Structure 1
Amino acid sequence: MKLKEAQAKIKTICNIPFADIFEELDFPMIIKNKGKTGQLLEMALGKKLDNANIDFEDGELKSNKCDATGRPLETVFITQIASIIDELIVEKPFEETHLYEKINNMLYVPVCKVGDPHNWMFLDAIHIDLSKPEFSSLLNIWRDDYYSICRQLKEHIETSKDGFIHTSNGRHIQVRSKDSKPYHPIYSKIYGRKVSNKNHAFYFQKLFVYDVRIAYGG
C-alpha cells in the first residue's frame, strides 16, 4: 500500500469512534497496547502487521496520542539509534541517513485517545514529502536539527562526567532514552567503548505537531 492510498482510506475513518471501526474482540488488545497507535491504524487500513523497515511501499506512518483538537499529548517516535551511533558521531550526510529514510516521505496521523477507548478516534492525516518545494522549510529545520544533535551527542561523549550521550534537542527533533530492563547499552566502534548504558531514539517533539498542523493541516 502506498501513502496516497493510505491517506485516502484514513479520510474515510477519521473522526469516527473506534467502536464503529473495530470489532469488540479487538478492544482487549487496543486497551492493553495503548502505545501501539501505529499498529491500530495499520489494522484499520487493512494492512498486515509486519516488521518491515518502512511501513508503506513509499514511506512511513507516524502517529501519536492527542486530544480531540489534535493537541499533542506525547512526542512522536521516529527510530532507535543504537545501530547508527557512529554515523551520527561522524555526521553522515543527512540525506544519506536512516533518519532521513524514516521521515522524508510520511503520513502523520494524530490519534485522539481521550476517555473510553471505544470513543477514541483517528484524526485526518498530513502527508509530508520532503521532495516537494512546499516542505522545504521542514527539510531545512530537520537537517539543522540532525547536525546539531550529532554535535551534541559527540560533545556529551567527550565531555560529560559519565562519558555517555544524553538528551539532545533540535527545534523539532530530539534524541532521548528509549529502553526497558534489561537495558541495551550503546557501543561505539569509533570510541571503542559504551557511550550509553541504555538505548536511545530519535523523536519528534510536540512543537513539530503544532508547526505542521498550522502550516499544512488545512
Structure 2
Amino acid sequence: MKLAEANQRLNQLSGKPFGELFSCEQIENIIINKGKTGQLLELALGMKLSNTNLDFEDGELKTNKCDRTGKPLETVFITQIASVIDDMLTEKPFEETHLYEKIDNILYVPVCKVGFPAQWMFLPSIHIDLTKPQFASLREIWRDDYYSICKQLEKHIETSKDGFIHTSNGTHIQVRSKDSKPYHPIFSSVYNREVSNKNHAFYFQKQFVYDIQKMAKEV
C-alpha cells in the first residue's frame, strides 16, 4: 500500500472512536499489546496483523500520541544515529543521507489516546512528500537542521568535558539519547574512539507537528 492510499483511508476514519471501528476482542488485544499503534493502523487499513513494522511501498509512517485537539504529547522518533555518526561528522550531503531516506516521504498519523481505548481515535493524517513544491520550505528547514546538528555534535566532541555528543536541536529535528541498559556506545572512525556512552537518535520535535498542521490547513 502507498502512503497516499493509506492517508485517504485513515482520514475517512478520523474522529471515530475505536469502539466504532474495532470489535471488543480487537480492542482487548490492543490493551494486552500495550496499545501498539502499528496494530491499530493495520486493523484500520484492513491489513492482516503481523509481527513486523508496518511498511508502505513508497515511504515511512510516523505516528504520535496527541490530545483531542491534535496537540502533540510526545516527540516523533525518526531513526537511530549509531551507524551514521561518521556521515554526520563529515557532513555527508543531506539528500544522500539515511535521515533523508527516512523523511523524504512520510505519513504523519496523530492518535488521540484520551480516556479508555474504546474512546481513542485517529485524527486527520498528513502526507508530506518533499519532492512536491508545497513542501519546499520543510525541505529547507530539515536540511538546515541536519547541518546545524552535525556541527553541534562535532563541537560537543571537541569541547565538552566528557568528549561525548549531547542533545542537539534544530527547528524541527533533534538528536538526543535513546537507549536502554545495557547501553550501546557509539564509536566514531573519524575520532577513532567512542563519542557517546549510549545510543542516540533523530526525533521530530513538537514544533514540527504544529507547523505541518498549519500547512495542512492552508492547502
TM beyond 0.5 = yes
Structure 1: gaps spanning 5 or more residues: none
Structure 1 residue 168 displacement after superposition: 0.3
What CA distance in whole angstroms lies between the structure 1 residues aligned with 2:32 and 2:199?
Answer: 24
What CA distance in whole angstroms lies between the structure 2 residues aligned with 1:28 and 1:191?
Answer: 50
| CA displacement 1:36-84 (0-9 Å, x = unmatched) | 32443234223454656x8210111111010011011111111111111
The 5-angstrom pairing of residues 98-137 of structure 1 reads 98-137=98-137
Query: Cα distance 1:46–1:171, how it changes in 2: closer, same or farther (>3 A)?
Result: same
The 5-angstrom pairing of residues 32-71 of structure 1 reads 33-34=33-34, 36-48=36-48, 49=50, 51=52, 55-71=55-71
Q: Secondary structure of the equivalent of 2:158?
A: helix
Partner amino acid for 1:109?
Answer: V
Structure 1 residue 162 displacement after superposition: 0.8
| CA displacement 1:19-42 (0-9 Å, x = unmatched) | 222332333453355573244323
What CA distance in whole angstroms lies between the structure 1 residues aligned with 2:77 and 2:85?
Answer: 17
Partner amino acid for 2:102?
Answer: K
What CA distance in whole angstroms lies between the structure 2 residues aligned with 1:16 and 1:138?
Answer: 30
Structure 2: gaps spanning 5 or more residues: none
Q: How many residues were matched structurally? A: 217
What CA distance in whole angstroms lies between the structure 1 residues aligned with 2:162 and 2:17?
Answer: 48
Asked if structure 1 preserves the Cα contact closer than 8 Å seen for 2:128 and 2:135, the reply is yes
Task: Tell me the residue number matched to 2:31.
Answer: 31
The 5-angstrom pairing of residues 63-82 of structure 1 reads 63-82=63-82
Partner amino acid for 1:133?
Answer: P
Structure 1 residue 192 displacement after superposition: 1.3
Structure 1 residue 133 displacement after superposition: 0.7
Query: Cα distance 1:61–1:151, how it changes in 2: closer, same or farther (>3 A)?
Result: same
Asked if structure 1 preserves the Cα contact closer than 8 Å seen for 2:177 and 2:201, the reply is yes
The 5-angstrom pairing of residues 166-181 of structure 1 reads 166-181=166-181
Instruction: Compute the TM-score of the two structures, normalised by the length of structure 2.
Output: 0.92
Query: Cα distance 1:40–1:179, how it changes in 2: closer, same or farther (>3 A)?
Result: farther
Asked if structure 2 preserves the Cα contact closer than 8 Å seen for 1:64 and 1:110, the reply is yes
Task: Tell me the residue number matched to 1:156.
Answer: 156
What CA distance in whole angstroms lies between the structure 2 residues aligned with 1:206 and 1:31?
Answer: 26
Q: Secondary structure of the equivalent of 1:187?
A: strand
Task: Tell me the residue number matched to 1:206.
Answer: 206
Q: Secondary structure of the equivalent of 2:150?
A: helix
Q: Secondary structure of the equivalent of 2:46?
A: coil
Asked if structure 2 preserves the Cα contact closer than 8 Å seen for 1:94 and 1:100, the reply is yes
Task: Tell me the residue number matched to 2:189.
Answer: 189
Asked if structure 1 preserves the Cα contact closer than 8 Å seen for 2:30 and 2:39, the reply is no
What CA distance in whole angstroms lies between the structure 2 residues aligned with 1:33 and 1:69?
Answer: 26
Instruction: Compute the TM-score of the two structures, normalised by the length of structure 1.
Output: 0.92
Partner amino acid for 2:162?
Answer: D
Task: Tell me the residue number matched to 1:12.
Answer: 12
Structure 1 residue 135 displacement after superposition: 0.5
What CA distance in whole angstroms lies between the structure 1 residues aligned with 2:140 and 2:148?
Answer: 12
Query: Cα distance 1:20–1:131, how it changes in 2: closer, same or farther (>3 A)?
Result: same
